[in-house]
Amino acid sequence: MELRLRLATRASKLALAQSKWVAAQITERHPGVRVELVTVTTRGDAVQDRALSKVGGKGLFTKEIEDALLCGGADLAVHSLKDLPTALPEGLTLGAICGAEDARDVLVSRNDQRFEALPSGAAVGTSSLRRQAQLRHARPDLTFVDIRGNVDTRLRKLAEGEVDALILAGAGLARLGLADRISQWLPTKLCLPAVGQGLLGVEIRSDDVETAALLRPLHDEAAATRAEAERSALACLGGGCHTPVGVHATVSGDAVSVEGVVAGPSGEPYYRAAEAAPRHEAAAAGERLAQRLKAMGAGTLLG
């Protein structure tokens, strides 16, 4: 007997590509399972005329999807992990963290210029306060422009001359087959990524043991360790879409290292620190990083 799973997803090209990838991973490992995609419009999708930091609230791209899970309209949901708040609603849990791609941000420019070669005053499109703050710290002479819309829309605005360059998540372009559009992968010393960037989180109901068992082969332990350190740091900092916070962890053998930055919207003040620990202490390393940043003065930006 065929088992049917309903997978809730946003309708954007990227969300569908990610959800179809997870669906294919499930059916490859469990041929008797059929995964049906259920598209859901979130508030973040519906509001396109304002910067994300001005729309307000956590879970802009997840709440309506989580509601579908909780009411039984879907069995699982695929999220870009960076969009998923660190505290999940009661009754929901992460069944798998998977699909790891390069976490770094990238520059896409009209003339294939690198970040350091952009002329003074160049218009750089990104609605992310995290990106704007870090890049303003490095290049206060650039002009940063809030820009919304899916990847195709942003690339069109670049081609039409609305901006001179874009800052995007490299993982998204890679998953859409658009890696050839990347002018430069931004080093983490210049711009630390968002928490969970490049990872996929598969959310399920906490009591759904059957779906949890089906997802177990998809779970990536190294990716989960990275996510644990990063999400622990963010939870301790209490930062969200209103605060420029970047955190990135790397796993090497039995060790995890995690680096974080908190900055003012103008790029100043700027606080950056790092921690390392054994893999089994990933969450503790994230918490220590957050406490170190607060002790440096970052707490004044997090209120």
Kindly report, residue by residue over 249-258, the tens digit of the pLDDT: 999 999 999 9
Positive or negative, the Cα torsion across 46, 52, 54, 58?
Answer: positive
Query: Whole-angstrom distance between the N-terminal and C-terminal Cα of the chain?
Result: 54
Query: What average pLDDT does the segment 205-226 reach?
Result: 98
> What average pLDDT score do residues 12-32 get?
97
For residue 155, give its domain range.
105-185
pLDDT for the residue numbered 239:
61
Rounded distance between C-alpha atoms, residue 299 and residue 238, angstroms: 10
**Total domains in the fold of the chain:** 3
The number of beta carbons lying within 10 Å of the beta carbon of residue 153 is: 13
Which of 45, 67, 75, 83 is labelled catalytic?
83
Pair 20, 71 in one domain: yes
Same domain, 167 and 50: no
Where do runs of H (alpha helix) occur along the chain?
13-29, 43-46, 52-55, 63-70, 129-138, 151-159, 170-175, 209-215, 221-237, 282-296
Q: What is the pTM of this model?
A: 0.92
In the residue annotation, 83 being an active-site residue is answered as yes
CB neighbours of residue 146 within 10 Å: 15
Rounded Cα distance, 293 and 167, in Å: 25
Determine if residue 190 is left, alpha or beta; phi over 0 gives left, psi from -120 to 50 gives alpha, anything else beta. Answer: alpha
Asked whether the predicted pLDDT for residue 48 surpasses 70, the reply is: no
Question: Could you tell me the pLDDT band of residue 22, with boundaries at 50, 70 and 90?
Answer: very high
| Torsion angle in degrees (nearest 10) through CA of 24, 39, 231, 190 | 90
Q: Are residues 168 and 283 in the same domain?
A: no
State percent of the chain over pLDDT 70.
Answer: 92
Query: What is the band of 62 on the pLDDT scale with cuts at 50, 70, 90?
Result: confident
* Predicted pLDDT at 210: 97
Does a structural domain hold residue 194? no
Mean confidence (pLDDT) of the chain: 93
- Residues 48, 94: one domain? yes
Of 44-58, 65-79, 102-116, 170-184, least confident by mean pLDDT is 44-58
Mean pLDDT of 42-66: 66
Contact 29, 186 (CB under 8 A): no
